[in-house]
Amino acid sequence: MMNGKVKRSRILVIPACLFLLALSIAPAAAIGVTGAKYMGSIAPGGTSSHVMIVTIGADESPVDVMVEVQGFGQTTEGVYIPLSPSGDTSPYSARRFIQLDRNTFHLDPGSDQKVTATITLPQDAGPGGRYAIISVRALPGQGQAFTTRVDVPVFITVSGKAPTEAGSIQQVSTGEVIVGQPIVVTTSLSNTGNYHYYNTVNQVIVRDAAGAVLANSSSVPLDWAVIPGTTVRYTVKPELGSLQPGTYTAVSRVLLENGRLLDEKTTTFEVKQKYIPPVTESSLLLTPGSGGVLTSPDGRVAVTFPQGSVLAEVLVTMKPYAREKLHQAPAGSQLGATFFEIAGLAALLNRDATVRVAYSVDDLAAAGGDASRLSLAIWDRVKNEWVVLATQVNTQDMTLTAVTNRMGVWAVIVSPAGVSTVPTKTPFPAHLAILALVIAVGSLPRVTRRRR
């Protein structure tokens, strides 16, 4: 009885400790701000005001709040960030032109506080825009380890004077060309004008040595405004097919929302050996009553699902997977050049699927030219390890084939030298092994069954 009481007390103590721990690291009250952006035109010497209502919910803890005017910064991804006075050196800063009617105040649960910002432009304000961020943040209180913050961007247009929208591409790069990975064109653009612009688009055109267009791809419009004096970065993955060794040209152009060209810059990149693009996304709708084959558009990967593989209708999708996201290969092995993901399945298959992958010359090179060292592997998210499958290697058509009931992230794995991955026998399917066991048990003598 005593042991039972001790066990029960431990069970009760653990949740209590977790509750106290949750309280100790709980964030400060979540702040809400009405009027979380200002955009307006003000003439030189003119004044405008902006009202913000700061609130916390009725179920929040009491909190002290600080409001302060800071400089307008921006990351290369476009995200707005507040700058301290020492870091706010832009000639387009509006930080010194904004006055707040209060800087600190207390909020009880369910209450709110009005804060008014008065903006006064100097008489000699030049054309373009002026920018600042009003930062509203909760001050940490006793037992509260974190604070919350709302940044209110301020966009001021100096009226009466035409602004200048201009930009200059500082750099265009393609990085290393890797077989099985997308070629990524990165473009850095600086706003060299005196005014911000929204929804810029980066267009990338790839041509071969003869000038033929191989790809014409564009980024999605940038949601963030590009502020004067800041530099943002665009990334575009041109939709390219296989490339033969040679020199190629990438033209990067950044366009305004209305289609006007801000700037363009050309760079070249070299393909040293035949380039094979990553697996292109494709999908297959599986149903319990029918099988199907999920094939990549280029035919390099094919997954055959037999009838009865799934117990309910499910959409299975094959898509590329970034190399930098891959986990390290098992000890003594190394990753090849081919990897992809098959997503959509929340559980193991009811019947094994057959996965067939065409290995590349880079996979073969990683194996030192010995195809028998190549195998297919799948990442086990539960055990946090690669599961290397028994793999049939066909050197005639350069394919790897494995049978499994699980899907996820796949990779070609190169085993250590001298270790062949080719199975001596075809793996016996698990469901047939179970059936064989049932038959064997059923054929045992009656006395044997009684002893069990």
Q: What is the pLDDT of residues 335-360, one digit of tens each?
A: 998 999 999 998 899 999 999 999 98
Task: Give the Cα separation of 338 and 342 in Å (integer).
Answer: 13
Region 296-321: mean pLDDT is: 92
CA 170 from chain center: how many Å? 25
Decide: helix, strand or coil at residue 325. helix
Condensed to tens digits (0 to 9), the pLDDT of residues 106-143 reads 999 999 999 999 999 999 999 999 999 999 999 876 43
Task: Give the Cα separation of 261 and 202 in Å (integer).
Answer: 10
Amino acid at 405: N
Alpha-carbon Rg for the chain, nearest whole angstrom, is 31
Model confidence at 64, pLDDT cuts 50, 70, 90, reads very high
Poorest-confidence range of 1-5, 276-280, 373-377, 379-383? 1-5
CB environment 120-156: b (16+ within 10 A), e (fewer): bbeeebeebbbbbbbbbbbeeeeebeebbebbbbbbb
**Does the pLDDT value for residue 9 go beyond 60?**
no
Choose from 206-220, 289-303, 314-328, 437-451 the range with maximum mean pLDDT: 206-220
Amino acid at 257: E
What pLDDT is recorded for position 278? 86
DSSP per position, 173-209:
E-----TTS---EEEEEEE-SSS-B-S-EEEEEEE-T
What pLDDT is recorded for position 266? 97
Token digits of residue 368: 């030192």
User: What is the overall mean pLDDT for the chain?
Assistant: 86
Q: pTM above the 0.95 mark? A: no
What pLDDT is recorded for position 29? 58
Region 2-19: mean pLDDT is: 38
Question: What domains appear along the chain, each with residue ranges and CATH number?
Answer: 32-158 (2.60.40.10), 167-271 (2.60.40.2550), 282-435 (2.60.220.30)
**Does the pLDDT value for residue 19 go beyond 60?**
no
Token digits of residue 250: 């990438």
Condensed to tens digits (0 to 9), the pLDDT of residues 384-394 reads 999 999 999 99
Residues of the chain with pLDDT > 90, as a percent, come to 69
What pLDDT is recorded for position 147? 56
394: enclosing H helix or E strand: strand 392-394
